[in-house]
Amino acid sequence: MIPVNLVGLPLPDALDACEKQGIQMQVIYTRAPREREQPPVGTPRVIAIRGECLIVAYFRDGDPEGTHAPEE
């Protein structure tokens, strides 16, 4: 069972929580249309869970100069 308290967590923390329970999650990133041409900035956080997918968006809540590109 997927932990429901993942929403709002930074992506690495959410993936760690899933891994501890033996759950492999797919990650889908979403961004505002006006920001899609620029590198992602901020902390990737879980905003929703859809089945076996974590929906992740970037929040400028950490180092404002830091960028965090998604791992492929």
Tell me the residue type at 71. Answer: E
DSSP annotation of 41 reads: B
Structural domain count, the chain: 1
3-class secondary structure, 34 = helix
Q: What is the pTM of this model?
A: 0.75
Q: How far apart are CA 57 and CA 62, in angstroms?
A: 14
10 domain residue, yes or no: yes
37 domain residue, yes or no: yes
Q: Where are the alpha helices (DSSP H) in the chain?
A: 11-20
End-to-end CA, the chain: 25
Domain extent for 8: 4-59
20 domain residue, yes or no: yes
pLDDT band with cut points at 50, 70 and 90 for residue 3: low
Q: What is the pLDDT of residues 26-40, one digit of tens each?
A: 999 998 888 778 888
67 domain residue, yes or no: no
CATH of the domain at 54: 3.30.10
